Amino acid sequence: MTTLVTGGAGFIGSHVVEALVRDGHRVRVLDSLRPDVHGPSPDLSPLRELCGVEVVVGDTTSTHDVADALVGCDRVVHLAAKVGLGVDFADTEDYVHTNATGTAVLLGAVARADVRRLVLASSMVVYGDGDYLDEAGTVVRPRPRRRVDLDAGRFDPVGVDGGALRPTLVGEDSLLDPQNVYAATKLHQEHLATAWALACGGSGIALRFHNVYGPRMPMNTPYAGVASIFRSAVERGEAPLVLEDGAQRRDLVHVRDVADAVVVALEATGSRPRGSVRAYNAGSGVVHTIGELAAALSTAAGGLAPVVTGGYRSGDVRHVTASSERAAVELGWRARIGFEEGMLELAHAPLRPPAGSAPPIRRRAG
């Protein structure tokens, strides 16, 4: 059996490939090696010594590339995507082309190749602001945060009546409310996967990743996650700059735990009912604040204390943390790496592994 992993040379992808190989899979990687992710000289050393791994340079938006990469594969893990919030709304076309069109092209090729098993990397951003409890204990969604409140340093959202709200954990059946372009494309990927499963009798699982961190994070790019932004600041000898008041709640999950979740999910697609895609949250199950993340990284690295700026970024949500109990009950998966252990590792991990030789690369002709 051979598993195609799109985006397999990336941060999460390289760990997923390692986990699949440990589990006995043969793996083919399809990755565009786009320079805004991999830099001008892509480093494939994490895949170098893995047996049974083939790397194909190609784009999921190319029908030819995807069809070529799918030959001989019977399962697909779709990780390739443009990630992060983006720099400005001008990024919209690239997000939609890469994430939505790329997924549509991939699923079309999967249907033609009669591949029936899929794991899709989704994201907790599809929930938007997440669930809150009002003063009566009822689950509600907040009204959109107003610029006038953000400028005044009032960051916590309030109810439609202006009342105070308390954030709570979000389940997979909760309201989906993407609030930026990236989030919208991730939800669209889920919808496309569901349409494929219904039309082709496929079996799919969408893993809604939380804030993934760990070795090989992409550093010093405008699309990097907050953990890598803080890690880059510490590496430069600068204080991490924390937006808002640092009390934003997130679920920080280690990349090796996420990779294990992918392996478990891929196995589960073999016994799931055909014609369906089921979503699972993939998080640590422990809530931390952005301020705690910055402080933990600075302390672990012996760096400068974080600075809380009071600034904000349009499109950010205040709190979003979700329950991963469905994955625990139905898939038997739970995150194993604790926050302190993970932060210590991240604080001392190299920003980029040294360049080295890579496994054979097959580039499409023409």
Q: Which two tokens stand for residue 328?
A: 């625990």
From the candidates 95, 127, 132, 182, give the one annotated as an active-site residue: 182
58: exposed, middle or buried (Cβ count in 10 Å: 0-12, 13-18, 19+): buried
Q: Which two tokens stand for residue 65?
A: 């590339």
| Whole-angstrom distance, CA of residue 163 vs CA of residue 362 | 59
| Whole-angstrom distance, CA of residue 257 vs CA of residue 255 | 5
Smallest CA-to-CA distance from 64 within 41, 35, 30 is with 30
- Name 362's bridge partners: 56
Q: Is 182 a catalytic residue?
A: yes
Smallest CA-to-CA distance from 65 within 75, 46, 51, 80 is with 80
| Whole-angstrom distance, CA of residue 126 vs CA of residue 230 | 24
Looking at this protein, which amino acid is placed at residue 135? Answer: E
Smallest CA-to-CA distance from 263 within 213, 173, 326, 327 is with 327
DSSP symbols for 35-71: HHHH-SS---GGGTT-TTEEEEE--TT-HHHHHHHHT
Active-site annotation, residues: 182
